[in-house]
Amino acid sequence: MDLGFHHRFEPGQTLASPTLLLLHGTGGDENDLVGVGRSVAPQANLLSVRGRVLENGMPRFFRRFAEGIFDEEDIKFRAQELVGFIAAAAVHYGFDAQRVIAFGYSNGANIAGAILLLHPAALAGAILMRPMVPLVPSFVQDLSGKQILIQAGTADPMGSVSEIERLVILLGKAGAEITVRQHHAGHGLTHEDFVEAQKWLGMYFPGTQEGSE
């Protein structure tokens, strides 16, 4: 069963462990982040999803009009669609729907951000790698208690310093607890990103690391 999305599910130590929701960047698929996910969260369940929108044949999670200019109505639709998939996958595979942490890169980080802003109950937390502001909702949901790690590149032409600041302000006003890590990097990910992600998961989400509960 694809449950509406092409995806991969890799069980962790137990199905009661947290589940890392892996969301690729433009042109990726459900295989891209599985190895990374297992390295940063050795004991977690992994749920890796392929975006359903195609841009010049490349999978994405929502449409855009141009680089950095997003179709906000499509973001709302696709976020709702993905939330439904997470719920269906939790029932199908038997993992805890209350312990899902998004791990998104680029376009995947942006749809994860949209889910946090529009459907915060769907995620326990999120790692947003090279994100942008996906949209500014008319109604701000309560993100109190949500742990979010933002990893930005100082030379990233898309996720500029001002863009990251806007995102931090938006999520912070909603009550999220945000950790920001700036790396000497561009839009691509580095080993440092993965080391920081693993440390952060170990700190806030027991059951993702070896030897943790």
Dist CA 145 CA 9 (whole Å) = 27
193 in active site: no
Query: Is 35 exposed, middle or buried, given 0-12, 13-18 or 19+ CB atoms closer than 10 A?
Result: exposed
Dist CA 131 CA 153 (whole Å) = 10
142 in active site: no
The residue assigned the tokens 């790690």 is 149
Which position among 7, 32, 48, 106 bears the catalytic label? Answer: 106
106 in active site: yes
Dist CA 132 CA 111 (whole Å) = 10
Which position among 7, 17, 48, 156 bears the catalytic label? Answer: 156
Positions marked active-site: 106, 156, 187
